[in-house]
Each structure stands twice: as C-alpha cells, then as structure tokens.
Structure 1
C-alpha cells in the first residue's frame, strides 16, 4: 500500500487507487498521513474536520471516520494500518510507503552528497525527489485549515529543494538548460528573490546580459508594487556585478583531470544512542531534574575531579524514577557527544540482568564485534573502561538492585557520567550523589491527570479530581492508570471512578505503605477488560521474556492471530501492557515491572499448573515452527538442520511468510524469547523442544556472532538431554557446539565434540547427523593439513547425503572436495566436481551454497591462469552474496576477485577489492577470511615491488593463521614472507648507482 500527499491525496493498493470516501474521511486521513507513525489526538482530528466550533458529536464522527478507513484498509490486506491509543490514533507506515518520507529521505541524501562534493549525485537525488510531486501543492483540494497549514511546510520544502538543485546545476555549468525552467518558476512564485537571482545568473552566463538586467528591473517593479520594498541586498549586488562584468560571475571551469582517490579513512567509532524515547507527557519533578542536571554539569566541568561522576535516583517502585532519569538524560545529552548508553537491570524482578549481558550489549553498541567479545566479566569490564576512557558518554542504569550489579558497568574516568535509578540508596557506591524521589504533590497530580484525561474534563470536576489523586496516593503510576481509565471511557464522570475506588477501601488504606495500592489500581483496570483479554494478560506472564509479539498471544490462547491482535490492543488501551516498538505484524509489547508482578499473581491464582504447561508448550511449539520457517527463508531450504519430533504449533502460511519475510531481523526481534524459551523448555521437561530450539537458533547466533547466547543455550539444552538420556538430542547438541568451537577457532575442542557426536549418531543409525558431523571433521582435517583424512571423511559424508537424496548437502561436500583437489594442484579434477556441485545446488534451490560453489570455480580458473574467466565468476557470485546478505561470504569472494584483478594487471581495482575484503572480515570478526585477504594484499605488494608492505601484510596474515591453527595456510604464507624479506634485504644492499654493495 502506498500513501501520497505530494499533490492530491491518494492511497494506492495493488496498482489501484482507493476511494477514501467523503470530505471528513479525506481530512482525517490527511492529518494522519501528515503525522505518520506519530500519535494524533482525537481533539486535533475533530478540529481539522470542524474547525474551532465543534458539534457535540465531533468525537463520535471522528471514530466513524476511523472505522470507515480501517474497513477500507482491511479490505486490501492491511488491517493494522491505523492503531488506537488512549488519546488518539497512529497511522502506521513502513519505509517507502509514504511519498513525503521518500521525498525527505532523497533530499537528505542529496545534501550529504553535496557536502561531500559529489555534485552530480546530489543533482540526481534532488531531481528524483522533485519528480515525486504530482502538483504544485501538497494535499491539494483538502478544505481544512490545519491540513493546509501543515501541508504548506511540504510545499515550501519543494520550492526550496528546487532552488538548491538549480544552484548546484549552475555550479556544474548548466546555465543554458535552466533558463526555461527558471522562467516558469518565477511566473509561479514571483516574490522568490532567490529564483530571480538564479535566472539573472543563468542568462548572464548564456551571453544574454541585457535580458539578465531586465529580470532585475521586473523584480524591482514587482517587489515595490506588491510589498513596497526594494529587492534584497544580494539581488542588488548581483545586478551591480552584471553591470560591471565581474569575473566572479563566470561559470566554474570543470576539472578535466580525474582526481586520485585518497585511501579510505578509518571508520569513526560508533556513537551509541540507546536511550528510550523522550517522555511526551512528563510532569513535575522540576526539583529533582534540576538537581540531577546540576550535579552532572558540575561533575563534567570540575577539572579537579578524577572519579567518574555518579548520580543515584532512589525511591520506591512506581514512583517515577525511570521517567525522571530518561527525561533528564535527554536534556543533558548534548553534553555527552560520544553517545548515551542505557540498560534496564530489572532489579525488582526475580531474574535480574547480569553485568555480563549488559557489557556485551554496551560493547556491541561501541563497535566491538562478536568474535572479539571477551568471555570473562573482568575482561569485558576492562575493555569497556578502555573504550570510554577518552569519550564523553552518559551511562544510564535503570532499576539497579545492588552495588555488585552496577560496579562492572562504571566507566573508569571523569570524561563520562553515570545516572542510576534504584529502589535502594546503593550506599556502597563511593562518592555518588543521591537524589531521593517521593510522591507527587497535589498540583503535580492534577497536572498529570489533566494531561492524560483532558484539561477541560478535570477543570469541570476539580473536587472529584483532587479526591481521585488522594485515593491514588499521589503515586505517578496509579495516577497514570486512573487517567488512562478515564480517557478510555469518555462517557464516565470522574466522580464515577472515585466511587469505584472507594469500594476498595481496605486495599486503598494500604496505598501509602508500598505496592498494595498499586495492586488495587491495576486490579481495577484488569477487571475492566474482557475475559479473553484477562486470560491473555495472565498467560503473558508465563514467558520469561522482555517483550511480546502478537503471534505469542495467539499461541498462548490457541486463538487466531487477528483475535490475539485485538486483545493486545485492548490491553494496551487499558495501559496493562505498553507498546515497545515495531508496527503492523511486528508490533511489540511489554509489561511495566509492577504490572508483570500483578500478572504473575493472577496467573498463579486463576490458571492451573496443567493449563500453564500446555500454554507454554504451545507458544514454544509456535516459536520452533517460525524459527524453522525463518531458517528455510534464509538458506533457501531445510539445510544443515537436525530436528526433533517435538510438537509444533503451526501458524497460517501467509502470516508466516510475512513474519519471516526478513529472517535475520525477525530472529533479532525474537532473540530474548529464543534464549529464555530454550531454558524454560528444559525446566518444564520439554527436552526435544529445548534442543531443537537451540539448534534452530544457531541461524541467528552464527550470522550475528552471538557466541555467548550460542554457548549458554547449548549448555542448557545439553544438560537437559543428558538428564533425560535423550541420545539423539545429545548428539545434535554436541554437533552444534562443535560448530561453535569452529567459529571460535577452537579446533581441538571442536574435534572432541564431533567425535563424540559421531559415536552417538552412528549408534542410533542416524545417517543425516553422522554425515553432517563427518563433513565438519573433514574441514578440521583440511585445516590441519591432513588431506588424505579430509578426503576420506568428505567422501564418506557424500555417500550418505547421496543415499538420502540431499542435493544441497551433497553440493556442499563436493565443492569442499574440489578445494582439496585445487590444493593438490589438480584443477581439472576440481572443475569436474564443481560442475556437479553447481547443478546440485541449483536443483536444490540453495543460493548460499551456489555462491560457495561459484567461489571455488573462480579459484579453479585462477589455478588455470584464466583471470578473465575468474573475474567474471567472482563478479556473478559477488552480486548473489550481497543479495542474500552474507558478509563473510562476501569477504571471501572479494579476496578472490582481488587476486583475479591482480592477475589481469588491474592493480588499483585489485587493491580496492582486497581492502574491502579486509574491512568486511574485520566487521564480522572472522579471522580466516581476514587472513586470506591480507595474504592477497601481500601478493599485490610483491607484484608492485613494494617489499616493505608485502612483509607487513604477510606477517599480519601469518599471525592470524597461527592463532586459528591452520598449518596449510601458515606454510604458504611463510614461503611468500621469505620471498618478501629477501627482496627487502636485497634492496637494503643496493647502492645509489643501483649496483650491489659488498
């Protein structure tokens, strides 16, 4: 679906222009489109439709318009386009769906290209953006003052963009082509002095000096007649310059010499911004905010201070500590230009977040790849402190439980600052400044209620509102719940809600003594939603994860996806859950900590253990079903996977295709559930689910280098299968853990796991598992230089795959056998094997394996000294590997392409490819492709007779090959290193005349 506002309002679905409806619906949709992905209040929509004189039915008419639009979108396959929130609605649009967003993105790209000196590229971007306009004004024909007021900003951006584009084209010497366009634009915008000046300049450079001066005279007449003022000073100076034939007006001379491209600069360190969104309805807390801001400012400006400044915001649960911390962090963010880090430590939860996991997240945000991640807590903390030593970074640690949870997360120098929230004062943190939080006063409570429930409503029942605030104990969380309750029910009076609260007298008497009052407030909201919504609310507490997707609710309830989506919206409208990002099918929700506690209490009270266990098995079965679908989408089929007979909970085919359309982002979103689900499956006795989920999650862990998760989940699942004497599960976990060891380049540990897995798979007659393990053992043999043993293991695995009819697995083994033939100097045998492998990979539909086969074919052509053919093959493989998103594979192929370019004599192109390969390999943290690309750079340097750089590259490659224990590559590198060193020594003995000395 496509939304268009750059001209008349249009909605396009499947190449069909939709009939949006009458004027009210068009105005409603226009306002939503102007604020796409942002909340639009009902009051603003009503004002756009009716102006300032609102009829009594205004809100109802808005709801009717929204319902009509929803039906329209649902009929065209987009039922979730408009989301309901407590105070209004959000039009959810994805990247590229709204023409105004594409226009703004293109103009931003044009500005970046202009700033980088790429004028041609900038002009192309500007012109592409301008072509998106279907008229002179945005939202033409919409008769609404608020709509036109907002649309005028877009119209102004259009003409400004046109002027900016023309300015660049004048710099490029295209003055003659611009005269006609500028003349038309001036007729449309006669008071735009910048356009007048551009036309004068274009005419003058085209040799039409008299006409350029005439443009100025007409501009002066128009300005005086219309506005009573002279043209601006810039236009007057331009007229004078034309009269005097100033040389500065001559068109720039375009450079004819192609500039030499400088070597790529080192990428700047990433600037993390992990803060949650700013709080839109932040209320009160001026004293606390000022105190925090003052302390952070003093600490950062005090040159005598050496320790890291720490501010602790302390108070009981539900008091608003997080809100204050996030609000203040946004206010002071400019003082910390090197980034802001944020972590929720879940101090009030049963499973607190460990410093190990927080440090992994922080180090990744600071640019540390997965393979470079230290394993121990102390090593991670040291690396973290080193990275922050000279950076001005703000670290926000929310809901800390103890000093020990915080200490490893503190930077080591005063350059950074730390803001902590906690339910205790954390007195053990030396030198920390404490800011204590208490309940709201009466004025602050009234302000918060007004912002949520509506100012007019609160003012009409001031006495009842004050009584409501007292019954809520002035606690911000309780006030927010009460305000949201009123907002969701506009037909209620405040007095009605007060009466309901008074019915809970015994509990409300406890309100000033901790969480009991919050429980009573949540209970009121809980009881207001339907039975199915309450059941979903309870069962969400079954999952040990931080966020929920709609499909999880469908599995928990054993209901269709659409019904679960409606129930999530009902819970979100009631403020029992919160939106946590995403949109459409990928919307995410989470609990506030205190509400999660309440949900768990209701779960224990209202659901039997058997019901909870069945619901957990369903949702984990759905998770396994989706992970398998995502794996197939990523790999093109069910390859390198071993599965159990664990029950799946299938979802509709179309829904699954949409959910996992982008497999790795889906895996990333569901990563918390994958990790916790494997643990929960093991704890609940779902052994097959546990190990199957663990091996299915490797698609994510391997591609994104989440080695900690890989290790933790497999240790959990391995312990479960061993306790249950599940032989196949144990073999599968040992096999997958062995692959982890290969990824970590721990080859002895990998071999140990593979040998035990082979024994177990063979013992139960599992040929698929045995074959998968054997091909990995063969890889270890090849890396250690044992070619005969590698060949034997590959051939044994191949025979098993062929008996099973697994074409892709067979192709994978064949191209590895071909590499052994290449290593042995037999390219003809390698070519025959690769021809079979290519046919099998294509028949099996695996583009990933096909690219690997093409890579080997490129190496074969190099061995035959056919660099032209090799370059063509590598180019084809490069396009494919970029399309499927495999950065490690791309690094290997770029290395091969660089060598092919070198053999073609294209040294500049060879260097570009090899340096790109090094950069990519370092980004992924994989040392083998990095070492191979460095070896290629050394060969390039030798060919260019640059022996010094050749030695440097070979020594770097040798160090990497030794660190991952690959004797075959070590030997090859040592030979080339000796040649380079001999060349250096020879050069050092040459005299000035070129003759050898001594």
Structure 2
C-alpha cells in the first residue's frame, strides 16, 4: 500500500500537486479542490445547463450539457468491484444518462434530429428500457422522414418490455406510436425551428443553384460540420434572429476549406429554397475578384436583366440586399482575402446565411463564427487515401499507406493529389510513391496531378505577402528546426523584435507558420509544417545569395549564445568559460533579454529543442567556435534538468567541431564537460580518462582556472574510490590555482571538499566550508547550488547528532529542489533523509523515503544514488529481520559498485551482505564475502579502510 501511495504521490508531484495526498493516523486523504474532480465538474456543468434551460437559453444550455457529457470516458469507476464504490458509480451513471436525455430533448426542439439519430441509436441499444430515449429516437427518425424505422424502434422496445418486465410501454410512448402511424403534424411532431419552409410552387421562377457538385469522398471534419450547421440552422429559442448567420472557415492553402464549405452548403441547401449563390473570390492570388463583379453575377442569377444592373458598387449592393430581403438564400464566398471583399456581398435578411472561406481571420465582421481548420489526423488521412486510391490497395500495405499519410502531413490537398496519382497508376504500389516523396528536394514536384499542385497553391499565397514578409519566410527556412522563437526572426532580419512580430503575424495570418502554445508575447514560438518548409527552402535557394543565408544564420546563432549565457548567469550566478566577453546582440537589447530569460529554467524548457538544433546547425555550417561555446553554456541546464542524452549528443558534436577546426581551447572545454557528464552517469573509468585529457590541454594552454575545475572533478573520483589523500591533494591544488577565496570558480570545489571532510570524520571543517558556500549561493542567486549546500549541511548536522537543524536543512533543500524541478537533487535529499532517519532509529518512515529515492534515481538514470538507496533498503531489511530480502538487495548493490570500480562503497555493501548471510546461517557465503572485503580494503586509504574493518568486526559479532 505504501508503494502504491508513493507512486501516486510522485505522479501528483510531477503534475504540480505535491501535497495532494496527506497521511492521517488511519490512512490517507486526498486533498484537492472540488473543481479538480471531474464528477463535481460534471454536476456543475449540468446545473449551469438547467439554469440556462429554465431561462430559455437553449443554445447555452446545450453547450453546458455537452461540456458535462464530454467529461465521460466509459462507465463511472469501471473495473472497480467494490460494492460500496459501485453503488456510488451507479448513481453517477444515472446522473449522466438523465443529463443526456435532457440535452437531446433541447436539441430536438432546435431541429437537430438528423445529427442525433446515431447517438440515440447507441443510447437505446445501451439502455433499451429507458422509454424517454426510445421516444426521442422515434421522434428523430420520424422527423428525418424515416417513419418505418421509427415504428420498428417502438416495436422492438415493446417486445423487450413485455418479455423482460411483463408490462406494456408507457401511455406516452403508445401515443407517440399512434401519431407516427397517422403521419401527424401536430404535438411533438410539428415542424421545429430550423426545418425547411415550404418549397415554392412549380410556377415560380427557378431559384439559382450555383453551389459546385458535392464531394463524394468528403472525409472527417465532423465537429466542424456540426458547428457550421448549428450556426446556420439554430437561433436562440423564443427570440427573433436579426443578424445574418455567418460562418468563416479559416485555414492555410490546401487544408480543405473549400471542400468543407461545399459539403456544408449541400448539407443545409434544403433549408434555403430561394437559392444558393456561390462565388470564388480568388483572394489568395495577386488579382482577387472584385465584389463589383461578383454582384453582377449574383444579380443576373437572381433574374435582373443586364441593362438593369447599376454600375456603382454601392448601388449594386443595395439592389442585391433588396432582392434577398424576402428570400431564404445561402451565399457561399470562397477564398476571401479580407472584410472589404466580403462586406458588400452579405445579405441584409437574417433568414439567409453566409459561408466564407479565407486564409486569414475576418475579425472586422461582427458576429462571425470562425471555424479554424487543421490537418486531418492519421485515421482520417488513411480513410481519404482509401476512398480515392481504393481500400483494398491501402489494406494490402498499411505501413506504406501510413507513411504516405505522414509525408502528406494530413493536408487534404496533398492527400488528394497522392490518392489521385495512385488511382491514375494502378500498376504502382504505395511504397513506390512513398519512396518518391521521401526525397525532400522532389516532394513538391511529386505532389502534383493534373491541375492540382501544392507548389502552385503555396505560390499564390507567397506572392500575396509583402516583400519583408517574403524575405523573413525565406530566411527562417535556413534553420533546421521546425519550431523557432520570435527573437530568432528579429536576429535573422537584424531588426527590432516589434518589426519581426509584425512580419511573423503576417505569415501566421496566411497560415505559412502557426503560433505554438510554448509562450506568449515576446516568448512566442512558431511552427513550420514540413511541406511549407520545403517550399520555403526552395524560395531561399532561388532568391537569397549564399552569403546572406550564412550571415542570417550566424546572427541567429550569435543571438542564441547571448541569450543562453545570460540565462545561465541569471540562474546559476555565473557563466562558465565566458571568454571572449559576450556583448549585447544588436537585435536583443537588454530589456528584451530580461523579458525572455526572466525565468531561466522555464526559458530553457521552451528553447531546448531549438538550442539542440542550433548546435547541430552551427557544426554543419562550419561555425566551430560558435558551436562549442553555445554548447558550453548549455551544460548547466542539461545537468540541472537531467537531459543526459542531449548533453552527450551536443557535446560530442561540439568536440568534433573543435577538433576539425584545431581549436585547442574548444577541445579541452568539451572534454572537461564530457568528463563531467561521465561522472554524472557513473561511468567513472571513462570520466577519469577524459578529464585527464582535458587537464593536459589546459596545462599546455597555461589555463589555471580551467585546470583547477578539472582537478576538482578528478578529486571527486578519488573520494568516491576511497582514495581520500589523493582527493585532498587535488582539492588543495585546485584552490591554489584559483588563488583562494569564495567565488564563482571556487565555490563548487569548496562544496565538494566539504563532503571529503565529512567522509574523513571532520564535520566541523565541513560545516565551516558549507556555511561560506551557502552565503555565496544565496547572494549569487544560484538556486541549485543553494539546494545542494543545504542537503550537505543536513548531512553534516546529522553526523554531529544535531538532529533538529539537520531536519530543517533537509526540508529547506527539498523545497528548493522541487521549486526548480531538480529531480536528481530530490533523489539525493530523499536518500539523505532516509539514511538519517535510519541511524536515528526511526524505522517506520525509512522504507518509504529510500524507496522514493531509489525510484526517482532510476527514473533520472542516477545509478549511483539508486544503488546507495538499495544499500540502505538492504540495511533496513536486516534491521527488521528480513535477511533473505537484504541478501538480494545488497548483492545487487555490491555487484554494481564492483562494476563501476568503487571499492569503498562496494566494501560497505558487502559488510552488510556478510551480516545477512550470517543471519541465515550461510557461513560459507559469509566467509567468501569477507575475503572480497579484505581485498577491497587494500585498495583504499587507511582511514576508510579502518572504518570498514571496524564494521566487519561488528558484523562478525552480530552488531550493527
């Protein structure tokens, strides 16, 4: 149970709720706000819906009902066999189905019977004895002119009730059957709001029907179709509709705006018996259609002779609105480029409706429902390809079909082109087309069939941009990253950030790029889609000279170096390896930098992928010094957030760049940081080898400060191995090279030396050093250093038997590591606290603390901490009489310490293991462990060796 609770606590903590589970004397308590529990949220939405319904706000009521129902994922508390739990679950399920019935009742009142048939069919199948649902399904089917099916639903329900319950359906259901049998038009079956008005007589003039043919293979977009239909059909209950229902479908080129508009137009066409008008406005081209010309076409379609059509735009618009004043007409305006092109074409009669498609939002039109289109998901993409190229063909090679959908990025135009090419070439297999599309340089050439083409579609939008926006679009393609921050645009252009933002907004308005949810304001990030990025690269190669491409890239990388260095300085209180001095970047004034890196760790999380991509690109472009310097200022962030894969990948890359450029300082710097990584990953032999190589280069360069840093890392390796004397000499030499004092260069050396003092049983000296370092950490603002020093102070206090200040130091350290999201630091604190509690004899909480430390260390790949926690758990098992468990745990820990060549820690684990064998009477195994321990003692210094011998003697006599 404790393990389960511990796992839950970690999950809650990872999502920002560290105090969600509280320990009580008789168990545990979940402490969260009611608004964070979905059942309370469900009831709140239902209450809002009922209030809105009682106030005749049917649209609002339906919205709240649907919000409530959307929270559900299957039956409440499914799979829980507890009778008590199921009693409450049944109550919740009853509330759900009641809310569903109430919602459907309102939707039927608003004429949404077509959309409800599928949902009602599923509900009746799940709840066949609920007569309310049966009646609603009968009503929906009857209104949809499916009388026979409505009657069959009644007959099935009656059979079920008679067979299962021995009763006839309620009188209301029987009355409903009678009304359907007699084709009644009154009571509940009268025409509802949103149903079509009577058609014109056959003598009337034929209304215009200009909508293009329906799309047979239309796929997906169910939610958007529903939104559009609701906007066009429904009006507030009991109110007169004054404004013309207008929908604007927004999206980038090829996203399927026109297809959706035509599909929806056909879906609601019967509701507009006086005609459907359609015009392509060509807003994405250099020569859009003028509203004056569109009005001429519309007026002629409405029966106005050519000689009676006015010349002026305003007069044509007035005549147009007059003609539509008594008509129910649907107007579809495809590919609009702005409000000015659309406004004269809007009817004045609220019984009409308008559907617009555009690549930009039409914020100047009041009351417009904007429906933003995104790409199709994988399932919808596969379905569209199947409908065009043939389902059997897709099913024969599902993997290649999935690859094809991915290469088309779910873009409907690209999918249609790909499907059409396959349909036109039945001798091709799908893999053949995939192979062609995988070549990025030819992708746009391959995505062309007949008059359909991605490049042509994108070119129209590109030509409609301003000159500066087109240039920014090209320069951003010089970056290998799909996601880029706004400041990178400013650096690419060498312009202030507000200029870059205006141009980015222009690109976003045309959907060439899109804002991500990574940040707001100056922290906004933008994303390129693959197909658009391929097009942008083509424009870059065709229109930008190589020198300008390289200059723009260098400006971006230089700006990245400035930002990362200043973020490191703000978070950690100093910049490692700052030479040469980092000056202000022209496009990044101090005020902007302060805004961007105000919260350095949050900034790093937003920028991490772009940072890694920048390092790769610096290497590829031959900017060796920029590459290794940029890499160097990321190390602290990678270490603090345990991004070990990024750390390893970028630093090896930068080392290779420095070697190719024969940059000795760069090589030594990267070797030092790679050695630090190996130390962090507990690859100690490799760490020593790499660090010694770095020390040799720094010595050749007469670089004492950096040589001191390398010596301090080698001293840590000596300490871990039990060679305390060597460690002490290295620490002293490192501090001597730095000239003494507590500063940014010496602080980590002093902190590490304090641990050596603690191991050498000199807690007072350790406390003195840590007090000095803590003062520096607080003044410098280095939160991670402060947390580490507090942890070490807690360890020092406990070694001196000062338990209360030790607990306080650990508590403050835990708060600090959680504030900065340092999961490795949290594992260390849990390990220290569990070990301290064990030596105090407070065994009740030790297992939970050490178990959390072990699990967190394992998750962050801190094997050394994990095995130290396992050693502690083994000792706890011994203390509580579980010798077999102790043997298993201590064997695992001892074998690991042997593998990484840490004789002191291995010896400590094997002393405990010997005790475990003695506890079970396995004398032979105990003697084998003692031989191994004696061998290990010979490899370490006298002080720790004597400590091991003392513990070995205690073990022999059963002591602890």
- TM category (shorter chain) comes to 0.5 to 0.7
Across the aligned residues of Structure 1 and Structure 2, the Cα RMSD in angstroms comes to 5.0
Q: Secondary structure at the match of 2:526?
A: strand
Q: 2: distance between equivalents of 1:972 and 1:284?
A: 75
Residues 622 and 872 (structure 1), Cα distance of their counterparts in 2 relative to 1, 3 Å cut: same
Is 1:721 the equivalent of 2:624?
no
Post-superposition shift, 1:596?
A: 1.8
In structure 2, which of residues 234, 254, 259 is the aligned counterpart of residue 447 of structure 1? Answer: 259
In structure 1, which of residues 755, 758, 776 is the aligned counterpart of residue 713 of structure 2? Answer: 776
Is 1:926 the equivalent of 2:862?
yes
- Structure 1 or 2, whichever has the larger Rg, is 2
Q: 1:11 maps to which residue?
A: none
Q: 2: distance between equivalents of 1:932 and 1:285?
A: 66
How do 1:520-669 residues align onto structure 2 when only pairs under 5 Å count? 520-585=456-521, 586-635=523-572, 637-638=573-574, 640-642=576-578, 644=580, 649=585, 651-669=588-606
Residues 740 and 572 (structure 1), Cα distance of their counterparts in 2 relative to 1, 3 Å cut: same
Q: Secondary structure at the match of 2:761?
A: coil
Task: Tell whether the 8 Å contact from 1:510 to 1:516 is kept in structure 2 after alignment.
Answer: no
Post-superposition shift, 1:848?
A: 1.8
In structure 2, which of residues 861, 874, 882 is the aligned counterpart of residue 938 of structure 1? Answer: 874
Residues 523 and 833 (structure 1), Cα distance of their counterparts in 2 relative to 1, 3 Å cut: same
Q: 1:900 maps to which residue?
A: 836
Q: 1: distance between equivalents of 2:507 and 2:357?
A: 21
Task: Tell whether the 8 Å contact from 2:473 to 2:507 is kept in structure 1 after alignment.
Answer: yes
Per-residue Cα deviation, 1:940-980 (whole angstroms, up to 9, x for no partner)? 22333333333233222223323332222111111122122
Q: 1:177 maps to which residue?
A: none
Q: 2: distance between equivalents of 1:643 and 1:847?
A: 24
Q: 2:796 maps to which residue?
A: 860
Is 1:518 the equivalent of 2:330?
no
Task: Tell whether the 8 Å contact from 1:867 to 1:901 is kept in structure 2 after alignment.
Answer: no
In structure 2, which of residues 755, 760, 776 is the aligned counterpart of residue 824 of structure 1? Answer: 760
Q: 2:775 maps to which residue?
A: 839
Q: 2:395 maps to which residue?
A: none
Per-residue Cα deviation, 1:273-321 (whole angstroms, up to 9, x for no partner)? xxxxxxxxxx9685989xxxxxxxxxxxxxxxxxxxxxxxxxxxxxxxx
Q: 2: distance between equivalents of 1:820 and 1:786?
A: 10
Per-residue Cα deviation, 1:105-139 (whole angstroms, up to 9, x for no partner)? 99xx99xx9xx984776779789x99xx9xx9899
Task: Tell whether the 8 Å contact from 1:815 to 1:853 is kept in structure 2 after alignment.
Answer: yes
TM-score (norm. length: structure 1): 0.51
Task: Tell whether the 8 Å contact from 1:958 to 1:970 is kept in structure 2 after alignment.
Answer: yes
Post-superposition shift, 1:909?
A: 2.0
5+ long unaligned stretches in structure 1: 1-104, 158-163, 165-170, 172-190, 192-282, 290-322, 328-438, 472-481, 498-507, 990-995
Post-superposition shift, 1:752?
A: 2.2
Q: Secondary structure at the match of 2:631?
A: helix
Q: 2: distance between equivalents of 1:496 and 1:911?
A: 63
Q: Secondary structure at the match of 1:807?
A: coil
Residues 773 and 987 (structure 1), Cα distance of their counterparts in 2 relative to 1, 3 Å cut: closer
How do 1:413-492 residues align onto structure 2 when only pairs under 5 Å count? 447-450=259-262, 462=278, 485-486=335-336, 488=338, 491=341
Post-superposition shift, 1:698?
A: 2.5
Q: 1: distance between equivalents of 2:593 and 2:284?
A: 46
Q: 2: distance between equivalents of 1:921 and 1:895?
A: 10
Q: 2: distance between equivalents of 1:964 and 1:726?
A: 32
Post-superposition shift, 1:534?
A: 1.0
Post-superposition shift, 1:537?
A: 0.6
Q: 1: distance between equivalents of 2:451 and 2:895?
A: 59
Q: 2:205 maps to which residue?
A: none
Q: Secondary structure at the match of 1:610?
A: helix
Q: 2: distance between equivalents of 1:621 and 1:664?
A: 20
Per-residue Cα deviation, 1:738-789 (whole angstroms, up to 9, x for no partner)? 1222233222222222122222222223233222211111112222222222
Q: 2: distance between equivalents of 1:977 and 1:511?
A: 67
Post-superposition shift, 1:842?
A: 2.9
Residues 446 and 859 (structure 1), Cα distance of their counterparts in 2 relative to 1, 3 Å cut: closer
Q: 1:686 maps to which residue?
A: 623
Task: Tell whether the 8 Å contact from 1:714 to 1:733 is kept in structure 2 after alignment.
Answer: yes
Task: Tell whether the 8 Å contact from 1:878 to 1:893 is kept in structure 2 after alignment.
Answer: yes
Residues 751 and 578 (structure 1), Cα distance of their counterparts in 2 relative to 1, 3 Å cut: same
Task: Tell whether the 8 Å contact from 1:848 to 1:881 is kept in structure 2 after alignment.
Answer: yes
Q: 1: distance between equivalents of 2:891 and 2:447?
A: 70
* Structure 1 range deviating more: 699-708 or 756-765: 699-708
Residues 882 and 512 (structure 1), Cα distance of their counterparts in 2 relative to 1, 3 Å cut: closer
Is 1:967 the equivalent of 2:903?
yes
Q: Secondary structure at the match of 2:341?
A: coil
Residues 484 and 604 (structure 1), Cα distance of their counterparts in 2 relative to 1, 3 Å cut: farther
Residues 852 and 150 (structure 1), Cα distance of their counterparts in 2 relative to 1, 3 Å cut: same
Q: Secondary structure at the match of 1:741?
A: helix
Q: 1: distance between equivalents of 2:485 and 2:266?
A: 31
Q: 1:253 maps to which residue?
A: none
Q: Secondary structure at the match of 2:912?
A: helix
Q: 1: distance between equivalents of 2:464 and 2:263?
A: 22
Post-superposition shift, 1:642?
A: 5.0
Q: 2: distance between equivalents of 1:670 and 1:515?
A: 41
5+ long unaligned stretches in structure 2: 1-15, 70-75, 77-83, 85-101, 103-213, 225-252, 288-331, 346-354, 359-443, 926-957
Post-superposition shift, 1:552?
A: 1.3
Q: 2:811 maps to which residue?
A: 875
Q: Secondary structure at the match of 2:481?
A: coil
Is 1:953 the equivalent of 2:889?
yes
Q: 1: distance between equivalents of 2:479 and 2:877?
A: 57
Q: 1:813 maps to which residue?
A: 749
Residues 594 and 659 (structure 1), Cα distance of their counterparts in 2 relative to 1, 3 Å cut: same
Post-superposition shift, 1:791?
A: 1.2
How do 1:79-90 residues align onto structure 2 when only pairs under 5 Å count? none
Residues 788 and 667 (structure 1), Cα distance of their counterparts in 2 relative to 1, 3 Å cut: same
Task: Tell whether the 8 Å contact from 1:646 to 1:689 is kept in structure 2 after alignment.
Answer: no
In structure 2, which of residues 672, 675, 683 is the aligned counterpart of residue 735 of structure 1? Answer: 672
Residues 833 and 531 (structure 1), Cα distance of their counterparts in 2 relative to 1, 3 Å cut: same
Q: 2: distance between equivalents of 1:156 and 1:572?
A: 33
Is 1:765 the equivalent of 2:702?
yes
Q: 1: distance between equivalents of 2:356 and 2:744?
A: 70
Q: 2: distance between equivalents of 1:712 and 1:119?
A: 42
* Structure 1 range deviating more: 512-521 or 747-756: 512-521
Q: 2:612 maps to which residue?
A: 675
Q: 1:746 maps to which residue?
A: 683
How do 1:137-176 residues align onto structure 2 when only pairs under 5 Å count? 149=61
Residues 672 and 899 (structure 1), Cα distance of their counterparts in 2 relative to 1, 3 Å cut: closer
Per-residue Cα deviation, 1:814-853 (whole angstroms, up to 9, x for no partner)? 2322222222223233233333333333343323222222
Q: 1: distance between equivalents of 2:559 and 2:268?
A: 47
Q: 2: distance between equivalents of 1:651 and 1:555?
A: 8
Q: Count residues in correspondence.
A: 583
Q: Secondary structure at the match of 1:985?
A: coil
In structure 1, which of residues 767, 787, 798 is the aligned counterpart of residue 735 of structure 2? Answer: 798
